[in-house]
Amino acid sequence: MDLTDNTAEAGFREVVKGFIAEHGDKGRMGGGRGSGEESGWSSDARERMKGWREALVDRGWIAPAWPKEFGGAGLSVKEQFIFNEELAEAGLMNVGGFGVMMLGPTLMVHGTDEQKAEILPKILAGEVVWCQGWSEPGAGSDLASLQTRAARDGDEYVLNGQKIWTTGAQHATRMYMLARTDPDAPKHRGISMLMLNMDDPGVSVRPLTTMANQQTFNEVFFEDVRVPVKNRIGEENRGWYAGMTLTDFERSGIGNSVGTQRALRGTLAYAKKAPAQETVLATSGTWKLDFVDRWIEADIARLFSHLNNSIQDKGMVPNHEASMSKLFTTELNQKIAKTTLKLFGLYGLLWDRKRDEAMKGRAATGYLSSVSSTLAGGTSEIQRNIIATRGLSLPRG
């Protein structure tokens, strides 16, 4: 695993830094974590990010991983890593969203020529905002148990069922999703991947309020929604394999690991200038020890990201290594949130963003928001199973 840049890579890093210095202020949302999904932003946030998107489009970096033949930047694996690392260090994000990160690359593999010609340019231009219809009330970690039904009716599917935990569905214009097209087939073999419009008749969205009082997730209901067969991605009843291709593109690491370090630096800077009565620094020596532990762990999380990048740079796909990184980093996010809350004592319970204490309530909301980090994208239990079976070759229980 090489942690250094060669001459060409160092030169590219300077180019990225120069671009950020010139355009970065357009894309800062206030303490960014280095990753994000634009379909989950408010209307005001999306409006403020237009300038940043336009700058990325003009530079050809809105889709850094896409091949040039599809309108992307065609960056190498290491260049993508450098690009994402520098954005994360600056508290910025690439605003392509689900479309750029996951659907676009999946269409390049499984889509028809017509789908590529119609959809890929719109993704690059930001004309559509996508959401992902994956989880259901009875199908989360065991996604292949999904029951949303798409019954074939000539040149259309009739869609009925429900999705849940759908990030940004209340703002999205389109959805890609998995539905069961053959209820009699083994569960992995009777699924198809479809695309639909969020304003199609029969589609309804109900925002969910989290314990942190945020509406990031949604329930989505389908009642006799008619989806053209031409909007299917890949073969009928083989959507599971297209979906797993997309899941590979979902895996990331450097933005999240850099984000943990940014969060720690922000907490430390606030602690140094906060009024003495607002923190426990004067009365507790254990917080400082906790902070040191978190900082060391954040360095380890960053090394996991470098490991995954090294594997990709050799033309391979990180498998159990990606699960190790995801497991470690998401559990670290919860530790950081707990350490931050501990810093402020009773002040950490304040939620009011209009008050100055406890980082304007971010200590409390960050603690509550971190609960879901070990659930989203595959639970910690699922990640441990992958590590055990694929990484350590242990038998399945």
Q: Residue 168: give its domain's CATH number.
A: 2.40.110.10
Per-residue confidence (pLDDT) for residue 167, from 0 to 100: 92
Q: What is the pLDDT of residue 263?
A: 86
Residues 78 and 313 sit within 8 Å (Cβ to Cβ):
yes
SS3 labels along the chain: CCCCCCHHHHHHHHHHHHHHHHHHHHHCCCCCCCCCCHHHCCHHHHHHCHHHHHHHHHHCCCCCCCCHHHCCCCCCHHHHHHHHHHHHHCCCCCCCHHHHHHHHHHHHHHCCHHHHHHHHHHHHHCCCCEEEECCECCECCCHHHCCCEEEEECCEEEEEEEECCCCCCCCCCEEEEEEECCCCCCCCCCEEEEEEECCCCCEEEEEECCCCCCCCEEEEEEEEEEEEHHHEECCCCEHHHHHHHHHHHHCCCHHHHHHHHHHHHHHHHHHHHCCHHHCCCCCCCHHHHHHHHHHHHHHHHHHHHHHHHHHHHCCCCCCHHHHHHHHHHHHHHHHHHHHHHHHHHHHHHCCCCCCCHHHHCHHHHHHHHHHHHHCCCCCHHHHHHHHHHHHCCCCCC
* Rounded Cα distance, 71 and 67, in Å: 7
Mean pLDDT computed over 368-395: 90
User: 286 with 200, same domain?
Assistant: no
Nearest CA to 123 out of 156, 94, 163, 88 is that of: 94
Q: Are 102 and 244 in contact (CB under 8 A)?
A: no
Pick the more confident residue, 388 or 35.
Answer: 388
Per the DSSP assignment, residues forming a β-bridge with 228 are 156
Q: Which domain holds residue 259?
A: 251-391
Same domain, yes or no: 264 and 385: yes
Amino acid identity, position 182: D
CA distance 27 to 13: 19
pLDDT at 44: 62
What are 121-174's pLDDT values in tens digits?
Answer: 999 988 899 999 999 999 987 889 999 999 999 999 999 999 999 999 999 999
For the chain, give the mean pLDDT: 88
Mean pLDDT of 69-73: 90
Q: Is the pLDDT of residue 39 over 60?
A: no
pLDDT in tens, 176-186: 999 999 999 99
Q: Are residues 256 and 386 in the same domain?
A: yes
CATH number where 343 lies: 1.20.140.10
**How many domains, the chain?**
3
pTM of the predicted structure, to 2 decimals:
0.83
Q: What are phi and psi of 378, to 5 degrees?
A: 105, 120
pLDDT band with cut points at 50, 70 and 90 for residue 19: very high
Active site residues: 250
- CATH code, 77: 1.10.540
Domain boundary among 229, 247, 265: 247
Residue 57 lies in a domain: yes
Please say if the pLDDT value at position 249 is more than 60: no
The reply to whether 288 and 231 lie within a common domain is no
Residues paired with 223 in a beta bridge: none
115 located within any domain: no
Q: What percent of the chain has pLDDT over 90?
A: 53
Q: pLDDT tens, 325-374?
A: 999 999 999 999 999 999 988 888 888 777 777 788 888 989 999 998 89
Q: What pLDDT shows up at residue 32?
A: 38
Choose between 269 and 252: higher pLDDT.
Answer: 269
Decide which of 78, 95, 112 is a domain's last residue. Answer: 95
Whether residues 143 and 77 share a domain: the answer is no
Domain boundary at 188, 223, 247, which? 247
Closest CA to 324 of 294, 295, 303, 304: 304
**Are both 293 and 197 inside the same structural domain?**
no
- pLDDT, position 290: 93
Q: By the 8 A CB rule, do 254 and 302 touch?
A: yes
If asked whether residues 386 and 266 sit together in one domain, one would say yes
Kindly state whether residues 304 and 347 are assigned to the same domain: yes
Q: How, if at all, do strands 156-163 and 149-153 pair?
A: antiparallel
Binned at pLDDT 50, 70 and 90, residue 254 comes out as: low
Whether 294 has a pLDDT exceeding 90, the answer reads yes
